[in-house]
């Protein structure tokens, strides 16, 4: 958790700096409730069963934890199955409800930097709590 959270915190600042300086254009995809719900359930179940999220599984392989190769193989099989099922998914789950291109800053009418500051505050509190609880 701390690995992913630290990557998200640093990445949020880096991406926003690049966007502010015109180096990249942030273009979030349309919010799709069907994909979000079904994808979230599948990702959560996979995380619970495997004990790893995709990024941490690859990191674990890099550390020499060879049992996580099964997790990586499962990710590849899942990606292949998704690609094969995509035409059907576009007609069903992915057509449920598309809300358009939304972002938290646009919904709140604030600068992205305000949201990043709140995100960092929550992240720091989370890190402190994890250290306190020895997680």
Report mean pLDDT in 10-residue bins for the chain, 135 residues. 87 97 92 90 89 85 91 92 93 87 91 97 95 89
Structure tokens at 90: 């576009």
Contacts of 51 (CB under 8 A, 6+ apart): none
Terminal CA-CA length for the chain: 9
Residue range 24-62, pLDDT digits in tens: 999 888 888 999 999 899 889 988 988 888 888 888 999
pTM metric for this prediction: 0.67
């Amino acid at each position: 958790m701390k690995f992913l959270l630290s990557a998200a915190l640093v990445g949020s600042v880096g991406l926003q700096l690049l966007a502010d300086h015109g180096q990249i254009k942030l273009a979030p995809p349309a919010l799709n409730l069907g994909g979000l719900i079904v994808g979230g359930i599948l990702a959560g179940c996979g995380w619970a069963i495997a004990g790893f999220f995709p990024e941490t599984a690859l990191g674990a392989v890099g550390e020499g934890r060879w049992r996580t190769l099964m997790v990586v193989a499962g990710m590849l099989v899942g990606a292949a199955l998704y690609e094969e099922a995509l035409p059907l998914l576009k007609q069903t789950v992915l057509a449920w409800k598309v809300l358009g291109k939304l972002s938290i800053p646009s919904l709140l009418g604030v600068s992205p930097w305000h949201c990043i500051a709140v995100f960092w505050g929550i992240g720091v509190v989370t890190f402190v709590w994890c250290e306190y609880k020895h997680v």
